[in-house]
């Protein structure tokens, strides 16, 4: 029998339903693993041992009474960007080191309402700014496949926890690739839905027009299950869209015959590692076996994606982070001389270097004399990029390619030059700019490090992305591979 | 003021919209609550919170736009105004910048030359109010109350068409009247729901280019607005006539000293880095809704005033007073409807005794102790000679004190006027007989003594004799 | 286009960020590189293009005017470092 920690959510649900084990047994086992193994990874900022066991006990009770919700007793972890009532919510920052949220994020409410048990809050790049989980105030996260390497970011903790089988599933957020890139580097499935699909209420804001909540799991089926429970209109989020939530699990076996897959020629250029390129091509061949048809598509403004992102995201974050001033919550500098000192030192000491850099970049591009050339221009380029995708999707059903240019890089490798780090997001950023759903799924190995396949679809096509991935996972076993030290 | 200089004034009026909840959150807006008891997560700018727009705020702004003949924008956008201040929890104020909800408008005032003058309204936009700082009671610290943070404001910006403090006050009063007529604001300046900033500059008469302006802030009464602007005009003229230059700055009005003072500048020149708020989407208002709203516009102050003059034949000045508030105008019309007498008479009583009593007791018309129907009853009893105008004042006071309707008071106090001529005759005869000396003087030519005789008769009758009858009878009998 | 020290000081002040002396030089350098990088946007063909307001062109939803949030002051002020009589305290603000 498969070890508990190796089972997917679907497997665990079946086991709980048939009484093979209890939620308390399951949660205890995972908490034990976390205690024993997380020191090697630093994937967790807060472990909720006591409350998780209490919630598991309650779940067992509900199940016994026949009142089990769709996720009853299933353990998950939340990226520490989601506010959880009466729980420390740090966003990976000294600024919120001791912040106890007075309320639950909508997705936390919904998942708990469906019966999920929260094991803890995972580590992340500070305020979601980073692609390597090295900017966290709580120390970097290690990649379970090679602890000298980064798991990616900003959702590094969530990805590492799932890859190391410390939890079967995790919530995460994606602004420029922060779900998909770590999923690719850790051999997990990570999905970012259509902008407006999942509520942002209670999700600490980085770049409001780009941020979306999603999940990291080990299978498309698990992602479908969780995404379904999280999705849907929320009246507390004005950018949330009232679009019906389909039965993602039910749609997983929809036929792929005739599925038109677009390949972006520019993706497969010199910047892409040869091993990654091959793994992606192999994956596409598998999909062709299922009836998919490959076509070349052109995204002419692709090269503008990263600079556009690095204007829009910092601009929005520079404003979103102004509320952190030490007055009502958060880090407050001691013995301020005056008001200016209170602000400058609370923020200067509370924020890390990358966050400060992005705030300043954002302040600069919004400032008098520069707004037109930078922010306004970037929002126009965003429109161009969206148009490129719209035109492409007239001819194809989804676009496929690599998620990252290389497999996991060594910790400390890219911290000198911000631009090198930014270019890590080159394949993923377009989907955020256009608000499109996208996912990464494991599709191979290079030097014993996972490689991710990236799929992007038109608005509201999450179901199709998950179906393609699910059927690919029936024909392959990459998603079942586990890092040696964590089997 | 020197004829050499022309004054140019523009007003920015912030009026709090009278909604139950805040513009972007469901916290209450009621005035006077204990500190921070009406500041929810969203108002406090807690991480992860988001704004959701209050429908009533949009309706109220649109109504204002319709009332001043402006365009209600079919699409408007909220923008963030970024700056740091303790009463601004998010470190930015959600406001409107390039695409406000109302654009272009106008209203009319009586200009300095007595003629009807058009004042343009550039725009009106929605924004959220900030909290309050309290400086007293803390050693080297200030206390921040965020109850007010998130209260909806409509900022109304006039064209620089005003040419004197007098015109500025007239415009301000007009706006004040309109927002109260529409029921979108209580216009309470003491509580801060109606605030005015004035941009004032002077230029040589005939010059087209505007002079450098100073911004006068937070003038919270009509009187202060007038005084502050007048002081500032004098100050600027003095500076210019001395060969100096007016500095572009913000100045506060000091009511105690009746002068404007430069505000300590907020360090940096303000770079607000406006950009469209990504947490909010463009607001779309379709033509159908605007038409629906237009149909609900009440009769506005100017139209009502003109109708009162035409329909009730009251003097324009009186009509102005009667239409100062919608509530007073409604009271007046209800009284006229309930009365069988002349509307002017009703008007006189409303403007005179009623307003006097309200002011004396510090009451609003809604709290009047004499209802419109009751006032009508009183006026009718004067018209039908049941009581004299003088007695009526006594009756009014009794009604105000709660003794009942006019008829009830008259009956209870036995104030019915004596009109029975034989009864009056008896008393007139008695008074003439009792005052032979004055009779002789009167007959000798001292006509003014008629007053004395009338007084004596009124005294005898406790004021209840019909003065007209008394006068006539006395004259006849004294003529000998 | 590189940024000079003065510009970075100005930006840091606008953003209310104190930079330590040893951070400052590195910050100027890295910010300059970032600005250089995003300068390439100037070449994008944006004539006549409308800036994006929302990826799905949605419009603002309006909520009914109702009081839905009761007083929760004590709970909410648990996270504040300096509170007195229900007021948040800051160094004296001079107007």
In chain C, which stretches have pLDDT less than 50?
Answer: none
> What dihedral angle (degrees, nearest 10) is formed by the CA atoms of A359, A364, A366, A370?
-160
Domain boundaries, chain A: 4-260+395-486
B50/A236 CB distance under 8 A: yes
Mutant choice from A317, A360, A367, A457 vs C, greatest count of C C-beta within 10 A:
A360
Encode burial over B395-431: b for 16+ CB neighbours within 10 A, e otherwise: bbebbbeeeebbbebbeeeebebbeeeeebeebbeeb
CATH number of B452's domain: 1.10.10.410
| Residues of chain A positioned with their CB less than 8 A from the CB of B80 | 319
C79/A348 CB distance under 8 A: no
CA torsion sign for A133, A138, A139, A145 is negative
| B89 → chain A, closest CA residue | A323
CA neighbor of A353 nearest in space, from C10, C24, B91, C9: C24
Q: What average pLDDT is seen over chain B? A: 92
B141/C91 CB distance under 8 A: yes
Contacts with C, A 34-63, CB within 8 Å: none
Q: How far is CA B392 from the centre of its chain?
A: 29
Q: What is the 3-state secondary structure (H, E, C) of chain B?
A: CCCCEEEEEEEEEEEECCCCECCCCCEECCCCCCCCCCCCCCCCCCCCCCCCEEHHHHHHHHHHHHHCCCEECCEECCEEEECCCCCCCCCEEEECCCCCCEEEEEEEEECCCCCEEEEEEEEEEEEECCCEEECCCCCCEEEEECCCCCCEEEEEEECCCECCHHHHHHHHHHHHHHHHHCCCCCCCCCCCCEEEEEEEEEEECCCCCCCCCEEEEEECCHHHHHHHHHHHHHHHHHHHHCCCCCCCCEEEEECCCCEEEECCCCCCCCCCCCEECCCCCCEECCHHHHHHHHHCCCCCHHHHHHHHHHHHCCCHHHHHHHCCCHHHHHHHHHHHHHCCCCHHHHHHHHHHHHHHHHHHHCCCHHHCCCCHHHHHHHHHHHHCCCCCHHHHHHHHHHHHCCCCCHHHHHHHHCCCCECCHHHHHHHHHHHHHHCHHHHHHHHCCCHHHHHHHHHHHHHHCCCCECHHHHHHHHHHHHCC
- Residue C76 has φ and ψ, to the nearest 5°, of -70, -30
CA neighbor of A181 nearest in space, from A140, A130, A123: A130
SS3 state at A401: strand
Q: Which residues contact A400 (CB under 8 A, 6 or more apart)?
A: A261, A262, A263, A280, A283, A284, A287, A453, A454, A455, A456
Interface check for B45 against chain A (CB to CB < 8 A): the answer is yes
Q: Are residues B129 and B231 in the same domain?
A: yes
- Report d(CA B274, CA B95) in Å as an integer: 9
Say whether pTM exceeds 0.95. no
Write the residue in B42, B135, B268 that is nearest to C13 by C-beta.
Answer: B268
For residue C23, the distance in angstroms to the closest alpha carbon of chain A comes to 8
- Report d(CA A403, CA A443) in Å as an integer: 10
Q: Which residues of A are catalytic?
A: 79, 154, 178
Mutant choice from C87, C89, C92, C94 vs B, greatest count of B C-beta within 10 A:
C87
| Residues of chain C positioned with their CB less than 8 A from the CB of A360 | 8, 11-12, 15, 17, 27, 31
> B294 lies in a domain?
no
| C10 → chain A, closest CA residue | A364
Q: What is the pLDDT of residues B66-96, one digit of tens each?
A: 999 999 999 999 999 999 999 999 999 999 9
Contact A98, A87 (CB under 8 A): no
Within a 10 A sphere around the Cβ of B117, how many other Cβ atoms?
18
Number of structural domains, chain B? Answer: 3
For residue B82, the distance in angstroms to the closest alpha carbon of chain A comes to 7
Q: What is the pLDDT of residue B468?
A: 84
Residue with tokens 């353990």: A75
C70's tokens: 């009761």
Q: What is the pLDDT of residue B447?
A: 87
CATH 3.90.79.10 fits A4-260+395-486, yes or no: no
Q: Are residues B85 and B191 in the same domain?
A: yes
SS3 state at A212: strand
Q: Are residues B49 and B153 in the same domain?
A: yes
CB half-sphere exposure, B257, CA atoms < 13 A: 6
Q: What is the pLDDT of residues B411-448, one digit of tens each?
A: 888 888 777 778 888 888 998 899 999 889 988 888 88
CA neighbor of A141 nearest in space, from A125, A118, A163: A125
| Residues of chain B positioned with their CB less than 8 A from the CB of C60 | 53, 280-284
| Residues of chain B positioned with their CB less than 8 A from the CB of C68 | 21, 26
Write the residue in B54, B85, B264 that is nearest to C63 by C-beta.
Answer: B54
- Binding-site residues on chain A for chain B (CB distance < 8 A): 82-83, 89, 91, 96, 99, 101-103, 105, 200-205, 207-209, 235-239, 315-316, 319, 321-325, 327-329, 339-340, 343, 363, 366-368, 371, 375
Size of interface A-C (CB pairs under 8 A): 169
Q: What is the pLDDT of residue B262?
A: 86
- Could you check whether the bond before residue A154 is cis, i.e. omega within 30 degrees of 0? yes
Complex ipTM > 0.90: yes
Q: Are residues B56 and B162 in the same domain?
A: yes
B146/C88 CB distance under 8 A: yes
Instruction: State which of B413, B434, B463 marks the end of a domain.
Output: B413
Q: Are residues B327 and B379 in the same domain?
A: yes
CA neighbor of C81 nearest in space, from C72, C94, C90: C90
| A208 → chain C, closest CA residue | C54
Q: Are residues B138 and B231 in the same domain?
A: yes
In chain B, which stretches have pLDDT less than 50?
Answer: 1, 266-268
Task: Print pLDDT tens along chain A (487 aa).
Answer: 689 999 999 999 999 999 999 999 999 999 999 999 999 999 999 999 999 999 999 999 999 999 999 999 999 999 999 999 999 999 999 999 999 999 999 999 999 999 999 999 999 999 999 989 999 999 999 999 999 999 999 999 999 999 999 999 999 999 999 999 999 999 999 999 999 999 999 999 999 999 999 999 999 999 999 999 999 999 999 999 999 999 999 999 999 999 999 999 888 877 899 999 999 999 999 999 999 999 999 999 999 999 999 999 999 999 999 999 999 999 999 999 999 999 999 999 999 999 999 999 999 999 988 999 999 999 999 999 999 999 999 999 999 999 999 999 999 887 677 777 777 788 999 999 999 999 999 999 999 999 999 999 999 999 999 999 999 999 999 999 999 999 9
Mutant choice from C14, C56, C88, C95 vs A, greatest count of A C-beta within 10 A:
C56
- Report d(CA B221, CA B173) in Å as an integer: 10
Contact A399, A280 (CB under 8 A): no
How would DSSP label each residue in A120-164?
Answer: EEE--SGGG--SSS-S-TT-PPPBTTBTTB---SSSHHHHHHHHT
Surface-to-core class of residue B20, CB atoms within 10 Å of its CB (0-12 exposed, 13-18 middle, 19+ buried): middle
- Report d(CA A312, CA A385) in Å as an integer: 14
> What dihedral angle (degrees, nearest 10) is formed by the CA atoms of C45, C51, C57, C63?
170
CATH topology (fold) of C5-43: Histone, subunit A (1.10.20)
Instruction: State which of B388, B413, B438 marks the end of a domain.
Output: B413
Which bin fits B32, alpha (ψ -120 to 50), beta or left (φ > 0)? left
Q: Are residues B78 and B198 in the same domain?
A: yes
Q: What is the pLDDT of residue B1?
A: 47
Contact C33, A418 (CB under 8 A): yes
Contact B386, B416 (CB under 8 A): yes
How would DSSP label each residue in A449-463?
Answer: EEEEEEEE-STT-HH
Write the residue in C14, C54, C59 that is nearest to B271 by C-beta.
Answer: C14
Contacts with C, A 283-312, CB within 8 Å: 301, 303-304, 307-308, 310-311
Q: Which residues contact C1 (CB under 8 A, 6 or more apart)?
A: C32, C35, C36, C39
Helices B326-338 and B372-383 sit at what angle, rounded to 10 degrees? Answer: 50
For residue A182, the distance in angstroms to the closest alpha carbon of chain B comes to 23
Instruction: State which of B413, B438, B465 marks the end of a domain.
Output: B413
Q: Are residues B128 and B214 in the same domain?
A: yes
- Report d(CA A331, CA A351) in Å as an integer: 9
Within a 10 A sphere around the Cβ of A22, how many other Cβ atoms?
18
Within a 10 A sphere around the Cβ of A68, how many other Cβ atoms?
20
Which residue range(s) make up the domain with B71? Answer: 5-289
C13's tokens: 């002040």
Q: Are residues B277 and B328 in the same domain?
A: no
């Amino acid at each position: 029998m498969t070890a508990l920690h190796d089972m997917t959510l679907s497997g665990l649900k079946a086991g709980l339903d048939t009484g093979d084990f209890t939620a308390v047994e399951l949660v205890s086992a995972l908490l034990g693993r976390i205690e024993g193994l997380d020191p090697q990874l630093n994937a967790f900022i807060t472990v909720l041992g006591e409350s998780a066991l209490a919630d598991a006990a309650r779940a067992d009770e509900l199940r016994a009474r026949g009142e089990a919700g769709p996720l009853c007793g299933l353990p998950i972890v939340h990226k520490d960007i989601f506010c959880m009532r009466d729980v420390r919510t740090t966003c990976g920052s000294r600024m919120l080191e001791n912040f106890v949220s007075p309320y639950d994020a909508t997705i936390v409410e919904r998942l708990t309402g469906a019966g999920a048990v929260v094991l803890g809050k995972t580590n992340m790049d500070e305020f979601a700014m980073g692609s390597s989980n090295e900017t966290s105030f709580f120390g970097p996260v290690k990649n379970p496949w090679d602890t000298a390497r980064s798991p990616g970011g900003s959702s590094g903790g969530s990805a590492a926890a799932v890859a190391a089988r410390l939890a079967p599933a995790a919530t995460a957020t994606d602004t420029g690739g922060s779900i998909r890139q770590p999923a690719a580097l850790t051999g997990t499935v990570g999905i970012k839905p259509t902008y407006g699909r999942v509520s942002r209420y209670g999700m600490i804001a980085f770049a409001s027009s780009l941020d979306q909540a999603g999940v990291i799991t080990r299978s498309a089926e698990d992602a479908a299950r969780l995404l379904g429970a999280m999705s849907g209109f929320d009246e507390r989020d004005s950018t949330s869209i009232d679009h019906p939530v389909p039965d993602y699990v039910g749609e997983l076996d929809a036929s792929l015959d005739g599925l038109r897959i677009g390949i972006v020629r520019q993706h497969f250029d010199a910047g892409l590692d040869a091993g990654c390129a091959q793994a992606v091509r192999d994956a596409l061949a598998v999909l062709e076996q299922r009836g998919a048809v490959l076509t070349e598509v052109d995204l002419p403004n692709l090269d503008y994606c990263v600079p556009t992102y690095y204007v829009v995201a910092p601009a929005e974050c520079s404003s979103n982070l102004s509320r952190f001033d030490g007055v009502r919550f958060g880090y407050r500098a001691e013995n301020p001389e005056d008001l200016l000192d209170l602000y400058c030192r609370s923020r200067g000491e509370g924020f890390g270097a990358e966050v400060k850099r992005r705030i300043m970049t954002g302040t600069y591009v919004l400032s008098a004399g520069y707004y037109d050339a930078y922010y306004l221009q970037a929002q126009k380029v965003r429109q161009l990029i969206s148009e490129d995708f719209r035109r492409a999707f007239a001819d194809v059903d989804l676009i496929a390619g690599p998620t990252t240019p290389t497999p996991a890089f060594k910790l400390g490798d890219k911290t000198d030059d911000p631009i090198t780090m930014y270019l890590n997001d080159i394949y993923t950023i377009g989907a955020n700019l256009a608000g499109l759903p996208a996912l990464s799924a494991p599709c191979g190995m290079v030097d014993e490090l996972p490689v991710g396949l990236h799929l992007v679809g038109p608005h509201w096509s999450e179901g199709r992305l998950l179906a393609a991935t699910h059927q690919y996972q029936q024909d392959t076993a990459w998603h079942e591979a586990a890092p040696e030290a964590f089997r | 003021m020197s004829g050499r200089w022309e004054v140019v004034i523009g007003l920015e009026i912030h009026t709090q919209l009278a909604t139950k909840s805040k513009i972007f959150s469901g916290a209450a807006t009621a005035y006077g609550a204990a500190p921070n008891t009406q500041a929810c997560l969203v108002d406090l700018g807690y991480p992860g919170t988001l704004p959701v727009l209050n429908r009533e705020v949009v309706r109220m702004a649109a109504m204002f736009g319709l009332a001043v003949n402006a365009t209600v924008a079919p699409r408007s956008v909220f923008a963030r105004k970024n700056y740091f201040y303790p009463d601004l929890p998010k470190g930015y104020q959600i406001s409107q910048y390039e695409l406000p909800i109302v654009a272009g408008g106008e209203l009319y005032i009586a200009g300095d030359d007595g003629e009807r003058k058009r004042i343009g309204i550039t725009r009106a936009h929605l924004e959220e109010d900030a909290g309050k700082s309290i400086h007293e009671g803390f050693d080297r610290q200030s206390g921040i109350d965020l109850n007010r943070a998130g209260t909806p404001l409509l900022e109304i910006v006039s064209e620089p068409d005003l040419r004197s403090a007098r015109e500025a006050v007239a415009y301000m009063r007009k706006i004040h009247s309109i927002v109260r007529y529409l029921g979108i604001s209580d216009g309470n300046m003491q509580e801060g729901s109606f605030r005015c900033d004035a941009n004032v500059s002077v230029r040589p008469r005939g010059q087209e280019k505007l002079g450098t302006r100073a911004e006068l802030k937070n003038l919270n009464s009509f009187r202060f607005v007038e005084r502050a602007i007048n002081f500032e005009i004098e100050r600027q003229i003095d500076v210019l006539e001395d060969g100096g230059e007016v500095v572009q700055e913000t100045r506060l009005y000091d009511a105690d000293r009746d002068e404007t003072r430069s505000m300590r500048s907020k360090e940096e020149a303000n770079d607000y880095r406006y950009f469209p708020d990504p947490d909010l989407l463009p607001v779309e208002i379709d033509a159908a809704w605007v038409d629906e709203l237009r149909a609900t516009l009440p009769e506005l102050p100017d139209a009502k005033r003109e109708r009162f003059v035409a329909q009730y034949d009251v003097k324009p000045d009186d009509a102005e007073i009667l239409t100062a508030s919608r509530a007073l105008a409604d009271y007046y019309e209800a009284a006229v409807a309930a009365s069988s007498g002349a509307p002017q008479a009703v008007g006189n009583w409303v403007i005179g005794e009623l307003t006097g009593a309200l002011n004396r007791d510090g009451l609003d018309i809604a709290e009047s102790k004499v209802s419109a129907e009751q006032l009508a009853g009183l006026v009718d009893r004067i018209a039908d000679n049941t009581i004299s105008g003088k007695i009526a004042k006594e009756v009014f006071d009794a009604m105000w004190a709660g003794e009942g309707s006019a008829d009830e008071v008259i009956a209870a106090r036995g104030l019915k006027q004596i009109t029975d001529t034989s009864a009056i005759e008896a008393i007139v005869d008695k008074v003439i007989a009792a005052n032979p000396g004055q009779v002789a003087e009167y007959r000798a030519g001292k006509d003014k003594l008629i007053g004395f005789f009338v007084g004596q008769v009124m005294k005898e009758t406790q004021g209840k004799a019909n003065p007209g009858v008394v006068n006539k009878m006395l004259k006849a009998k004294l003529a000998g | 286009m590189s940024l000079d020290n003065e510009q970075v000081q100005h930006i840091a002040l606008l953003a209310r960020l104190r930079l330590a002396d040893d951070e400052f030089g590195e910050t100027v350098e890295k910010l300059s590189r970032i600005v250089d990088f995003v300068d390439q946007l100037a070449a994008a063909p944006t004539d006549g293009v409308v800036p994006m307001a929302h990826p799905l062109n949605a419009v603002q939803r309006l909520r009914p005017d109702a009081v839905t949030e009761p007083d929760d002051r004590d709970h909410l002020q648990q996270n504040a470092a300096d509170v007195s009589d229900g007021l948040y305290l800051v160094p004296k603000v001079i107007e």
